[in-house]
A = this chain, B = another copy of it.
Amino acid sequence: MKMSALFAPTLKETPQEAEVVSHSLMLRAGLIRQLSSGIYSFLPLGLRVLNKIIEIVREEMNRAGGQELLLPALHPGELWKETGRWDIYGPELIRFKDRRNRDFCLGPTHEEVITDLVRREVRSYKQLPLMLYQIQTKFRDEIRPRFGVMRSREFLMKDLYSFDVDYEGLKKSYEKMYHAYCRVFERCGLDFIAVEAESGVIGGDVSHEFLILADSGEEKVVVCPSCGLGSTEEREKCARCGTPLEEKRGIEVGHIFQLGTKYSEPMKAYFVDRDGKEKPIIMGCYGIGIGRTMAAAIEAHHDEQGIKWPYSIAPYQVIVIPVNASNEEQMQEAQRIYEELLNQGFEVLLDDRDVSAGVKFNEADLLGFPVQVIVGTKFLKTGKIEVKFRMTGDREELSAQEIVNLVHRAKSGLR
């Protein structure tokens, strides 16, 4: 893609409405734009990051045995009345009447809808266990939408639901998901911690929150530097190994719950077990905020100049910058490297705009592409091309032939 054609409008100034750095940088880098309070459009670069995270989540859900489906956003009110959440949920639940005057709401979560599907289709223990998930838009009319996509009224979530014959099965499903979540955040290039948490409006017995560690995070956690155990209580020594705990800050990006029969009992989602008896299905639910993970990645990886994307979720992996676009020799060499990297399967931008070198460098740093390939005056004199790595700030000078190998090594984390 050429920068001159890319729809990525940047802002020079820090937007006034932004209270946290990720919100500010997502606006400044042209990743999102606000349509209304707590409602955002994802522009091309922002959507590319979302899709990178979605693909990692999808692969890990599938690897753990999840099957993807797509449930509606429009929920009939009756289902929510069956579980009592129609009354409990309050004004955060967006409600309306359809043209036939029937109660509907916009799904803020999908326990009722998935339980309704499963109770209609699953009758025997032979059909269990089952893990079903979707990656889909949720709606919550937050009383105070803030922090950009971190707490918004319309947002993308991965929600998986597990269905087992007994609590032993639930524990196994829960463990699979726990490990799948660890893999997701590792693959996104993020430091995270899992802590025991309260279940809140979703309900159930056991639940864990997954937090991305970042100094600007809104939640305080204590972490054992020895065994890694985390907790939200202001405890001094590790409950497991006695080591003094360290205080960290984090951002919640995932939450997993052992629901038990909280939804299957009131909704009569029963199955016939091996012993011929009818029993309620034992459920779990497991969510990841996709947009939140994107924002948390920025909170964890940025500096004063802008975003520093981890390689695996960067919107483009490489930007090739001819310092002076009107210099034919620079431009030709930049174009050649750009095409070679494209041919090698990399996602590459060519900054072909006729703007000053300063603007190009500043925007490359703001947008946070992991590898910057700079074709400048040095190339004209010595044939050497400068490569800058955004995460570390390291620079190397290379011949054109060495660039492709270097980018390969950078991608696999070997540099």
Contact = CB atoms under 8 A, between A and B. Distances in A.
Interface of A: 5-7, 9, 33, 35-36, 39-44, 46-47, 50, 65, 67-76, 91-92, 94-96, 98-99, 104, 106, 113, 116-117, 120-121, 130, 132, 137, 139, 141, 143, 153-154
A46 B132 CA distance: 14
B74 A47 contact: no
A42 B50 CA distance: 22
Nearest to A139: B74
A106 B98 CA distance: 12
A41 B141 contact: no
Contacts of A132: 7
Given A41-B70, A67-B7, A35 B113 contact: yes
A43 B69 CA distance: 5
A154 to B, nearest CB: 5
Interface-central residue, A43, A70, A92, by most chain B CB under 10 Å = A70
A131 to B, nearest CB: 9
Contacts of A91: 99
Contacts of A72: 35-36, 39-41, 154
Nearest to A97: B96
A245 B117 CA distance: 48
A43 B132 CA distance: 9
25 contacts: A35-B74, A35-B113, A36-B72, A36-B74, A36-B76, A36-B104, A39-B72, A39-B76, A41-B72, A41-B113, A42-B70, A43-B69, A44-B68, A46-B69, A46-B70, A47-B69, A50-B70, A73-B73, A73-B137, A73-B139, A74-B139, A74-B153, A91-B99, A96-B96, A98-B141
Given A120-B33, A153-B74, A41 B67 contact: no
B74 A154 contact: yes
A42 B75 CA distance: 15
